[in-house]
A and B are shown apart, each in its own frame.
Chain A
Amino acid sequence: MFQTHKEIQAAIGSGQTDLKSLVTTYLTNIESNRHLNAFLEVYGEEAMARAAELDGKTTGRGRLYGMVIAIKDNICYRGHKVSAGSRILEGFESIYSSTVVERLLAEDAIIIGRLNCDEFAMGSSNENSAYGPVLNARDNSRVPGGSSGGSAVAVQADMCLVSLGSDTGGSIRQPASFCGVVGFKPTYGRVSRWGLIAYASSFDQIGPLSHSVEDSALVMEIMAGADEYDSTASSKPVPSYSTEKFEKKARIAVLKNTVDHQGINTEVRSETERIIAKLKSEGHTIEEVNFDLTDYLIPVYYVLSTAEASSNLARFDGVHYGYRSPRATEMDSVYKLSRTEGFGREVKNRIMLGTFVLSAGYYDAYYSRAQKVRRMLSEQISEIFRSYDFILLPTAPSIAFKLGEKTSDPTEMYLADIYTVLANLVGVPAISLPLAKSAEGLPIGIQLMAEKHEDAKLFGFSKTLMQWSTLYP
């Protein structure tokens, strides 16, 4: 099976394959992996028709010609269903396409289906989807991570070459780590959020998952950039991520109280230490720096993200679109019953929590205080980037855990995001690289972060590091 766009392009160029046979292969893989529940919908006929059409295109081929992509079920694609993994949007059909989908299609990508995820992207194991959990292809008794669990498994099991996920607190990187693929969270504002179903708007970013850094970089190069439909999208020019290299010796910071945190799995810790030692032996500078806010990351993330979620999810009212309870008899019960029956447990938890932290009497003590801590975090991380190129962290404190292992206590599940929320809280780019594995052979991701708008530098150095991957020799 092809692992990179470059291989595919070579095979197309030499006449070894064409797009119809490529799509057929992916559709066969999707069919034989149906039990993993990664796809909520497969656009089989449509993808075949587009492949046939593109096979006839001999000149002016787009840069993603031959790339088969699947998208997370919270990214809108005109004329196609999108449900954010929720009953409340069951049957909903997009009336416009997200900017990212438009840009991928314009470069001749083929979109093969939409991918399962935690409801409204809220979760770390994909067990919160209203359409059932996704299974990790490496070990079916384990979770793929979340919330972009379907996106990670689709790449892991070669059901598409690249997938799109969204990352609010780690939802691309943590499943990438659990499934042994590359997952990239861009600088906040680097990619337009137009057409992404909102969870927490000051955190959300769309990003790619793939086997290679080069493919994530290429897809980012095409998706990124100013957009008239998203005023928070950065107007800075987009560098050539796909050709970017970083061949100097890097200065890398390791935050105190992270690799040596009490909650970390011993194998994740020893593998991270192995990578650190390897970096040192290659001549990079790698130093431990003071950071005393680790234990505040999860609390501040949940205060702020739930506040934004409670506001964003107020739009689901049972009137304009989505589910309406058949038991509703008057206006108030249209709202209440539709929301109560349409949303799942974790989504309700977060709406209630967000409503609390924004309510009169508690706003200053929780919401405003958390925004202040966000400023402190932002300043501390900026200060670190004045002296260092990158920050290195594990992506997740554990390897992929068993289905049902963390579903009884929500706070235990939240700790799965302890190393990933930082990048979203301060808006910097971050990547999870499949550089290690446990004794059992389960993937372990290593995370690198760079300063805001240094996405190119991060891709450049990641390419160097991927040469050490034990999963993709």
Chain B
Amino acid sequence: MTAAPLLVARDLHKSFGTTPALSGASAAVRAGEVLAIMGPSGSGKSTLLHCLAGILVPDQGTVTYQGQVLSDLPDRPRSALRRSAFGFVFQFGQLVPELSCLANVALPLRLGGIPRRAAERTAADWLERLEVTDVAAKRPGETSGGQGQRVAIARALVGKPSVIFADEPTGALDSLNGERVMHMLVDAAKDSGAAVVLVTHEARVAAYADREIVVRDGIARNLEPAL
């Protein structure tokens, strides 16, 4: 018997001004699975991911996390949820340039109230697991693309999230680095028991997923498991 989905989006509608981005998208994410969201440019993939992550509130429809309607929550509890239960790996601009890589990884813990030393100890452990200990004292701008993404993965996992949201995580990397990053992301997520929701337009990246859904014109198809 399949476990109940961890995160469920039902019939989401979202517009930006007069431009519709989602026109009835639905999706479900099981605990521990890797779900790829695919589709052409402008189809609404990222918008669906943002709604699932509680970053955006849909105009219509619901997003439920562990039975709680995420889309109805005000900003503060949604932010708290992102801090405690979710992790993020984006293509660009996700790390704080002014902080060292170690401080970046420790940041979610610091925001959650963990004292600095304890947070940095945990962060250092994750940097070691992702084989980027040598950039701990460097700033993100001083690292290579692949190193930066591994630091981002470490930050996404440091808080032991239930779900990791990755939006084109290998978009700025060459194919070799991209594969290495995807291996590390998926392996680390599975080791932690975290689900991964992955937005990509590349088939070779989607190949790492257990399941994929396709978004076209704001509508998501091929829903599994059954809602």
A and B form one complex: no
